Structure formats: C-alpha cells, structure tokens
C-alpha cells in the first residue's frame, strides 16, 4: 500500500496510471468506480484532455433505480466524466440484465485491462457485501444497512437510498489484468489493513485481492 500525502496526490497518481494505460493502448477496456473517492480522479482526467475516442468503460455497479434519476450512477458518471470527455456513450457500459450479456461484453478482446476500485467501510468492493462468494459474477444484491447508511450522504434522506443494486461479482473483478484500489480516510485505512494483511475470507470481500497478481493500493488520510 502506498500512503500519499493528500487527496490531490491520490487523484493525480491514479490519473497517471489511467493516462498511461489509455495512451499506450487506445482501445483499453477500463472498469470504473463511483462514490466520493474517485471524484478528484475524474476531475484530473477531464483536465488532462486525453483521447477517449476508442476507450470502452464498464462501471462496477448501479442501484436498482431509474437510471435517469440524478443520484443514479449513470447520472454520476455523465456529470463527472462522460459528458466532459470525448468518449462515445455507446462505449460506456453499466451492469444490466441479462447479466451474462454484460459479462460477455467485458470479455471481448481479452477482457479488462485496468480496473479502478474503491473500498467500503465494511470491506465491500463494488457492491459485493461481506459474505459474497469469491467466485460471484454480475448479479442483483441486497445492500447492507452499513452501505445504505454510508451512501445516504449522496441522497436527500436515508429512506431514498435504494435497497438493491446490480454489481460485478468478485470473480468478475478478479479477471481484470490490473487492479488499482484507491481509498481515503481512517476507516478505510483500518479496513485496508484487515483486507490486505488479515485472513482471506468472504467476510472481508476485498481480501480476495490478496490473490491477484497485479494490484496496487493507494491511500490518503
């Protein structure tokens, strides 16, 4: 794990990784996260004016809700990244049903090149909550009380937070060639230690990343 001095540095360092990937291989397939942590990354990427015209993206997850709702992850991605770069909307994918077709799209041309992840305060990655099977695939899941509480800051009230989501599985995420996890704040630091130094257990979904051969973790307070 690399501990960085500031949130700006966290955003900058991960933007460097994305930039290098997209410049070296313009046809890159990327997996992208939502939430508070990647907002600085997306701002930085917009400022760099990269050529996204051949890039294909897959978001980690989406709530079960109207995708045009202002708080959906479709809306989040349009607002913070997609509407501000030259990516083709048809190249921006979100998990959908049937989930097998979504995974088929990811697997075209040797699969995902780079997956950017966050981590939940309960150790989830994407919406794979504690207890998720390590070989799980894209599917509909129930959100835990903890995740609903954590994510309520993005909604008008906790009652507005959807109770279900559709998420890539842990098995799906593990197939990416390279994984970069970004995290901010003390509660995430404790969880990162549990996930990367503790036992590999389905109780801590992110601990499966110990089994991946190309993972980088970046943290700031």
- CA-based end-to-end distance of the chain: 13
> Does the annotation count 47 as an active-site position?
no
129 is catalytic: yes
**Stretch of residues binding ligand PGA (CB under 6 A), selected from 16-24, 115-123, 134-142, 193-201:** 115-123
Q: Is 169 in the site for ligand PGA (CB under 6 A)?
A: no
Part in contact with ligand PGA (CB under 6 A); list of ranges 64-72, 113-121, 138-146, 213-221: 113-121
- Taking CB under 6 A as the criterion, the residue among 120, 123, 169, 205 binding ligand PGA is 120
Nearest CA-CA partner of 181 in 202, 205, 209, 203: 209
User: Per CB under 6 A, does 36 bind ligand PGA?
Assistant: yes
The residue sitting closest to ligand PGA, measured at its beta carbon, is 35
Q: CA nearest 42: which of 111, 92, 90, 2?
A: 92
113 included as an active-site residue: no
d(CA 123, CA 143): 13
Question: Which of 193-213 are b and which e, b meaning 16 or more Cβ less than 10 Å from the residue's Cβ?
Answer: ebbbeeeeeeebbbbbbeeee
Binding site for ligand PGA (CB under 6 A): 35-37, 118-120
């Amino acid at each position: 794990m690399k501990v960085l001095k500031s949130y700006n540095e966290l955003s900058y360092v991960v933007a460097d990784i994305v930039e290098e990937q997209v410049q070296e291989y313009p046809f890159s397939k990327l997996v992208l996260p939502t939430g508070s942590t990647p907002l600085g990354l997306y701002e930085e990427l917009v400022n760099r004016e990269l050529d996204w015209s051949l890039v294909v993206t897959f978001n980690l997850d989406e709530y079960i809700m109207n995708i045009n709702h202002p708080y959906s992850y479709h809306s989040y991605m349009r607002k913070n990244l997609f509407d501000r770069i030259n990516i083709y909307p048809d190249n921006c994918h979100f998990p959908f049903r049937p989930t097998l077709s979504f995974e088929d799209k990811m697997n075209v041309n040797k699969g995902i090149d780079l997956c950017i992840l966050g981590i939940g305060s309960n150790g989830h990655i994407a919406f794979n909550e504690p207890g998720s099977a390590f070989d799980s695939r894209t599917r509909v899941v129930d959100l835990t009380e903890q995740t609903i509480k954590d994510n309520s800051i993005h909604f008008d009230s906790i009652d507005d937070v959807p109770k279900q989501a559709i998420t890539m599985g842990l098995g799906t995420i593990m197939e990416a060639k390279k994984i970069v996890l970004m995290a901010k704040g003390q509660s995430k630091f404790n969880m990162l230690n549990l996930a990367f130094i503790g036992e590999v257990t389905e109780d801590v979904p992110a601990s499966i990343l110990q089994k991946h051969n190309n993972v980088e973790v970046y943290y700031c307070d």
